[in-house]
Amino acid sequence: MKLKKHLASVGTIAVSMALSANVAFAACATDGLPASMDGPDGYPERALTMIVPYGPAGGSGQVAQAMAQAVSDLTGVSINRDHKPGGSGAVGMTSFMATPADGYTVLEHIDDASSGHALDSSRPNPADDLIPLVTSQITFSQVYIRVEEDRFTDWASFVDWVKAQDGKATIANVSKEGSMERVTMKFITDATGMEIQQISFDKGAPRYGALAGGQVDALFEQPGDVRKFLDAGTFKPILTILKEAPEAFADVPSLTDAGLDFEPLYRFRGFYVHKDAPADRVEWLQWAFQKAYCEESYQKYNESKFMTLIESFRDTEGSRELINNTVAQYRDVYKAMGLEVK
């Protein structure tokens, strides 16, 4: 099929661009896909449903809204978002798995689905039990401090200061068991030898407020989520958790600059369909969601969220590769951390 060839080439390009910093994205990843595509046998005859396992106001809610809008603009097909928050995405995933595999229901999910499967293989594997339509956001994490902070000013002085506190220093993050944040913090503390108390805030506002109000000493977060604080000059990054710093944060030390040798974990969000959905419908959905990624409205949204600093796009095969690598990476880490991997 023509589309498959297109997708294969797009995937190759995307993978080759993978995680390379300092790339100018003048052309969009799916510009080569056909501008329009008819659905098989009149599909879709009605609106699609997008299950979102998180609330409408968070990162997932926003990306779901932006992607649904872009797909609707592109295809004229409405997408109803059905938010089913709770259980770190488990409620939404379970609800999705219970829907008919007819291609009318898609799922938005984040890397938590991959790390959840890594910890407990009875949970669905997004690469095998679902078909990834597109991964549309991939981002990295940073460590932030307040701009007005005078006890430390950069990564080196922060590490020295934390070590001097004898375990009393604090950092706000989402440190649930097995989370990307907790695992990455383990990498950092192991590599630096510093001890720091992680304070777990599951909602963004209290987490950011904790740093702004001086309740904690630092914050672990992704740049898009705290962009307003960066633009306002309230927070500043002192470490970029990437091997090489992207151009936008060229003056912030990367893992390599800081002498930290570990593979960074990424936050990623994507869209999925049932693996048993009819193949021709899946193909149309792949086209719609991947093409929508390059819609102007979606690209503008991604840009506003710092999601263009590293390549955010993965097609189906690229997403599978990303998920499988992530699952393997988490599984190794969990075992090393002494967690029970089922």
Partner 1 sequence: METFNNFLGGTVALFSDPLGILIFFGGVIGGMLFGAIPGVSMLTLAAILLPFTAHLSPEHGIMLFSVIYCTGVYGGAITAILFNIPGAPENAPTAFDGYPMTKNGQAGKAVGAAVMCSALGGTVSAVIMMIATAPIANWAISAFGPPEIFALVFFGLAVASSVGAKTFWKGWLSILAGLLIAIVGLDPVGGIERWDFNMPYLLAGIHFIPTILGFFAVTEIFVQAEKKAKGSYVAPKLSVDFPTLAELIAHKVAVIRSIVIGFFCGILPGIGATLAAFMGYNEAVRWSKNPSEFGKGKLEGVISSETANNAATGAAMIPLLALGLPGGALTAMMVGVFQMHDMEPGPLVFINSADLVWVVFAAMFFANLSILFVGYLETKTIINLLRIPFQFLAPMILCLATVGAYAVRGLTIDVIVMFVAGAIGFFLRRSGYSVAGIVLGLILGRIGEQTFAQAMQMLHFEWSGFIGRPIALGLIIAGFLTLGGSIYGAFFKKV
The least distance separating partner 1 from the CB of residue 160, rounded to whole angstroms, comes to 20
Q: Determine which residue in the list 93, 106, 219, 282 makes contact with partner 1, applying CB under 8 A.
A: 93
DSSP 220: E
Q: Which is nearer to partner 1, 200 or 324 (CB)?
A: 200
Asked if residue 178 binds partner 1 (CB under 8 A), the reply is yes
Say whether 272 sits in a helix, a strand or coil.
strand
Q: Which is nearer to partner 1, 201 or 220 (CB)?
A: 201
Nearest to 238 by CA among 339, 159, 150: 159
Q: Which is nearer to partner 1, 206 or 259 (CB)?
A: 206
Asked if residue 186 binds partner 1 (CB under 8 A), the reply is no
Phi, psi of 75, deg, nearest 5: -110, -15
Asked if residue 114 binds partner 1 (CB under 8 A), the reply is no
Q: Determine which residue in the list 62, 135, 136, 308 makes contact with partner 1, applying CB under 8 A.
A: 62
Q: Which is nearer to partner 1, 17 or 77 (CB)?
A: 77
Say whether 17 sits in a helix, a strand or coil.
helix
Q: Determine which residue in the list 201, 271, 272, 306 makes contact with partner 1, applying CB under 8 A.
A: 201
Taking the C-alpha atoms of residue 9 and residue 11, their distance in angstroms, rounded to an integer, is 5
Q: Which is nearer to partner 1, 69 or 325 (CB)?
A: 69
Q: Which is nearer to partner 1, 95 or 325 (CB)?
A: 95
Residues 6 or more apart from 55 whose CB is under 8 A from it? 61, 83, 85
The least distance separating partner 1 from the CB of residue 185, rounded to whole angstroms, comes to 13
Buried-state track 175-195, b at ≥16 Cβ within 10 A, e below 16: beebbbbbbbbbbbeeebebe
Helix (H) or strand (E) run with residue 276 in it: none
Tally: H helices and E strands in the chain: 12, 10
Asked if residue 213 binds partner 1 (CB under 8 A), the reply is yes
Q: Determine which residue in the list 42, 231, 340, 342 makes contact with partner 1, applying CB under 8 A.
A: 231
Asked if residue 100 binds partner 1 (CB under 8 A), the reply is no
The least distance separating partner 1 from the CB of residue 272, rounded to whole angstroms, comes to 17
Asked if residue 197 binds partner 1 (CB under 8 A), the reply is yes
Buried-state track 266-299, b at ≥16 Cβ within 10 A, e below 16: bbbbbbbbbeebeeebbbbbbbbbbbbbbbeebb
Taking the C-alpha atoms of residue 21 and residue 255, their distance in angstroms, rounded to an integer, is 13
Cβ–Cβ under 8 Å, residues 220 and 184: yes
Cβ–Cβ under 8 Å, residues 133 and 271: yes
Asked if residue 153 binds partner 1 (CB under 8 A), the reply is no
Q: Which is nearer to partner 1, 82 or 317 (CB)?
A: 82
The least distance separating partner 1 from the CB of residue 13, rounded to whole angstroms, comes to 29
Asked if residue 228 binds partner 1 (CB under 8 A), the reply is yes
DSSP 314: B
The least distance separating partner 1 from the CB of residue 53, rounded to whole angstroms, comes to 10
Record the tokens describing residue 328, joined without a space.
């393997």
Residues 6 or more apart from 26 whose CB is under 8 A from it? none
Taking the C-alpha atoms of residue 176 and residue 236, their distance in angstroms, rounded to an integer, is 24
Name residues contacting partner 1, limited to 38-57 (CB under 8 A): 55-57
Residue span 301-340 as binding mask against partner 1, x where in contact by CB under 8 A, dash where not = ---x------------------------------------
Q: What residue ranges bind partner 1 (CB under 8 A)? A: 55-58, 61-62, 65, 69, 82-88, 90-91, 93-95, 167-168, 170, 175-179, 197-203, 205-206, 208-210, 212-216, 227-229, 231-232, 234, 304
